[in-house]
């Protein structure tokens, strides 16, 4: 709990420091203090906004909608049984129309959490494998590590949106300052801020997936079901990868498996190698 609190505090500090540093650079380039003071206020405002709205940003990026008990009784029964076994509250359930097989958990804490599955994963996995996946996502919630990943994704989404606005301004010719450092500051926001947000996500994601695999397998008492699900998900992503957009890239670190395909997927992966995850689960099962 204390470790996650420290990570969250460092994440907030990094977010605020990044925005302030860029504001200071723009102020230096334009010889005006206004951008610096504006960045101080903007950084604090962005932290406040992402804390309360980061889960909504993640769900919106996947076009997720709430799923009702009448629509998916099996999902409610499965999640309800696992939540009761863990002695924890049941999260809200969402469904994304994406056919890329995946799932993720988001929210500030177990009382304000949501679990989202794509249509692709529901069509791909059998009931036992889905139970393994949902156990994994529930343990992200109950281990209280979704706060940092949710905030990282939310912050990255906000920074990306600001960067796109700045990019539009530069392309429209709004960068005509007497000092070229003003343009440099704008370009730093456009190109470096999203990269910094991605690096922040990479720093908090990999070990948590292994922990959620282990704890989820202990919750379901069926590690081989999750191992089988991970194999199918990896193959499913190769056949039907998620189309990359800035907002989806920000949420990718929260998913049970990297949803993208290509060189960048391996170079900047936010997940441990799938072979390592499966080997851990098979070892847990006594193989």
Q: Which residues are catalytic?
A: 137
Helices and strands (DSSP H and E) totals, the chain: 11, 4
Q: Are 26 and 182 in contact (CB under 8 A)?
A: yes
Q: Are 92 and 58 in contact (CB under 8 A)?
A: no
Question: What's the CA angle centered on 250, arms 75 and 102, to 5 degrees?
Answer: 30
Give the integer Cα–Cα distance in Å for 139 and 9.
22
Site of tokens 């704008």: 186
SS3 label, residue 113: strand
Give the integer Cα–Cα distance in Å for 281 and 145.
20
Nearest to 223 by CA among 286, 146, 147, 143: 286
Helix (H) or strand (E) holding 229: helix 223-239
Please enumerate in sequence order all residues whose Cβ is within 8 A of that of 132, keeping only pairs 6 or more positions apart, or say none.
216, 217, 220, 222, 223, 225, 226, 227, 228, 229
The conformation of residue 74, written as its DSSP 8-state character, comes to H
């Amino acid at each position: 709990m204390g470790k996650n609190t420290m990570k969250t505090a460092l994440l907030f500090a990094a977010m605020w420091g990044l925005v302030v540093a860029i504001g200071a650079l723009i102020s230096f380039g334009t010889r005006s203090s206004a951008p610096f003071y504006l960045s101080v206020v903007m950084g604090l405002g962005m932290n406040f906004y992402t804390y309360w709205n980061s889960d909504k940003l993640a769900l919106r990026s996947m076009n997720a909608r709430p799923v009702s008990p009448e629509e998916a009784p099996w999902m409610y029964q499965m999640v309800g049984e696992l939540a009761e076994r863990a002695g924890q509250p049941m999260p809200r359930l969402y469904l994304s129309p994406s056919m890329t097989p995946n799932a993720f958990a988001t929210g500030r804490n177990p009382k304000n959490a949501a679990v989202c599955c794509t249509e692709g994963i529901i069509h791909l996995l059998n009931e036992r494998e889905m139970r393994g996946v949902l156990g994994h996502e529930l343990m992200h919630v109950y281990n209280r590590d979704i706060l940092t990943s949710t905030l990282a994704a939310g912050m990255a989404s906000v920074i990306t949106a600001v960067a796109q606005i700045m990019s539009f301004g530069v392309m429209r010719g709004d960068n005509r300052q007497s000092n070229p450092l003003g343009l440099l500051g704008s370009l730093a926001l456009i190109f470096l801020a999203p990269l910094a947000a991605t690096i922040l996500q990479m720093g908090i994601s990999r070990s948590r997936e292994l922990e959620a695999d282990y704890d989820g397998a202990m919750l379901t008492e069926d590690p081989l079901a999750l191992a089988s699900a991970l194999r199918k998900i990896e193959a499913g992503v190769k056949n039907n990868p998620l189309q990359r957009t800035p907002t989806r890239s920000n949420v990718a670190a929260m998913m049970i498996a990297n949803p993208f395909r290509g060189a960048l997927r391996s170079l900047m992966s936010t997940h441990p190698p799938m072979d390592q995850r499966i080997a851990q689960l098979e070892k847990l099962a006594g193989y």
